[in-house]
């Protein structure tokens, strides 16, 4: 048997998040600059290269594959990649194929995603107010996203909403979002804003809303029961007893979750980031392209990268500045 991927802290690496494009049809303020300069297409891995890269990781024990971007569904012919990954689901080597999306293209692709074996999708949605949605996404259209969510549910996809908790922006929608998801049998996860990208135009410290505070507000109306459930990612879950719905909390700042990290992130150019909150990365594209007929150098490069996975990130707002900030935008690494 092939030796599985184990990092220096004895954490098995079984979860790969893959950015298939740095492009997006939105410009969310915590993810991208308004006027982004995108990568030349020749630098991006082809869909065939992405297949070979992901298949190599799966051969090394990766069981969960999450496709991200940018917005993954704006990449031309992306469904051929999803369809190719279906063979790993059929063989049992891959336990889950899923994606994170802004929802803009779900109305178009929901049925095809289900046919390719996708059963869950995460949709980024920070507000149900159309004017505020346009402001936070800069280019976004809320009705289009809501139609996409409806189409996903109709196709049989389980939908989870990811909401970035933004102080002064969506605090007053906490209960609105919670009730809206409960009424539609949709899971909801709140995420603390992270210090990533150019902070020149966005005050991350001012945006930061601690999820400890958010939970305290929820307790004013609901009884929260902690759940032991894990879905392979960093979220910790509670059940709201009054509705029975499941809420998740991703807390890179208030409660560091690095001790259980089982994931790495591959960019659309073949860089492997072993930690979202660190700058260190490994270039896997060279090993892929320099040896088109031999996967052994790629496998060796992956193993070497995992051997350098750090213990954790250094995100910190406690001193009223964005300590631990990384320079790349979230869209570069993959959401």
* Domain ranges, ordered by start, for the chain: 18-333
The predicted pLDDT at position 185 comes to 95
How confident is the model over 101-138, as pLDDT tens digits? Answer: 999 999 999 999 999 999 999 999 999 999 999 999 99
Per the annotation, does 28 bind a ligand? Answer: yes
Residue 330 in marked binding region: no
70 is in an annotated binding site: yes
Cβ-Cβ contacts under 8 Å for 261 (sequence gap 6 or more):
11, 234, 275, 309, 312
Per-residue confidence band for 261, with pLDDT thresholds at 50, 70 and 90: confident
| 181 marked ligand binding residue | no
The annotation status of 268 as a binding-site residue, yes or no, is no
101 labelled ligand-binding: no
The superfamily in CATH containing domain 18-333 is Aldolase class I (3.20.20.70)
Q: Answer yes or no: is pLDDT of 208 > 90.
A: no
Q: Is 269 annotated as a binding residue?
A: no
Q: Which residue has the tokens 């190599």?
A: 56
Identify whether 70 is preceded by a cis peptide bond (ω within 30 of 0).
yes
Task: Give the predicted TM-score (pTM) of the model.
Answer: 0.87
Beta bridge partners of 163: 190
Q: Does 117 belong to an annotated binding site?
A: no
Q: Is 87 part of any known ligand binding site? A: no
Q: Flag whether 30 is marked binding.
A: yes
Flag whether pLDDT at 302 surpasses 50. Answer: yes
Q: Is there a cis peptide before residue 300, judged by omega within 30 degrees of 0?
A: no
Alpha helices of 32-105 — where are they, by DSSP H?
47-59, 78-91
Structure tokens at 329: 């935008």
Does 219 appear as a known binding residue?
no
H or E stretch including 191?
A: strand 187-192
Nearest to 109 by CA among 160, 157, 50: 157
Write the CA distances from 204 to 33, 50, 167, 197, integer angstroms: 13, 33, 10, 10
What would the pLDDT profile of 145-192 be if each residue is shown by its tens digit? 999 999 999 999 999 999 999 989 999 999 999 999 999 999 999 998
pLDDT of residue 230: 72
Q: Which of 36-40, 173-177, 288-292 has the lowest mean pLDDT?
A: 36-40
15 is in an annotated binding site: no
């Amino acid at each position: 048997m092939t030796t599985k991927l184990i990092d220096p802290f004895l954490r098995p690496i079984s979860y790969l998040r893959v950015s298939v494009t740095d492009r997006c049809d939105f410009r969310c303020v915590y993810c991208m600059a308004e006027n982004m300069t995108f990568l030349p297409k020749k630098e991006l891995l082809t869909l065939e290269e992405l297949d070979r890269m992901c298949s190599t990781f799966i051969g090394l024990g990766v069981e969960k594959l999450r496709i991200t971007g940018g917005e993954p569904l704006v990449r031309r012919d992306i469904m051929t990649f999803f369809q190719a990954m279906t063979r790993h689901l059929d063989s049992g080597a891959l336990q889950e194929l899923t994606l994170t999306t802004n929802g803009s293209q779900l109305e178009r692709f929901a049925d095809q995603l289900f046919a390719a074996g996708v059963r869950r999708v995460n949709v980024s949605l920070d507000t149900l107010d159309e004017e505020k949605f346009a402001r936070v996404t800069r280019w976004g259209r809320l009705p289009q996203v809501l139609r996409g969510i409806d189409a996903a549910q109709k196709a049989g996809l389980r939908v989870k909403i990811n909401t970035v908790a933004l102080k002064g922006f969506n605090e007053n929608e906490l209960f609105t979002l919670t009730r809206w998801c409960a009424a539609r049998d949709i899971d909801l996860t709140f995420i603390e804003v992270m210090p990533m990208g150019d902070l020149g135009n966005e005050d991350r410290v001012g945006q930061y809303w601690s999820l400890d505070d958010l939970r305290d507000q929820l307790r004013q109306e609901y009884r929260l029961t902690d759940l032991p459930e894990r879905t392979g990612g960093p979220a910790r879950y509670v059940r709201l007893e009054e509705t029975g719905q499941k809420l998740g909390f991703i807390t890179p700042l208030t409660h560091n979750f690095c001790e259980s990290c089982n994931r790495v992130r591959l960019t659309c150019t073949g860089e492997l980031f072993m930690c979202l909150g660190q700058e260190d990365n490994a270039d896997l594209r060279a090993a892929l392209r320099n040896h088109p007929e031999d996967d052994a150098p790629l496998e060796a490069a992956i193993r070497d990268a995992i051997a350098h996975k750090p213990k954790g990130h250094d995100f910190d707002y406690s001193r009223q500045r964005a300590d631990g900030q990384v320079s790349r935008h979230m869209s570069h690494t993959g959401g």
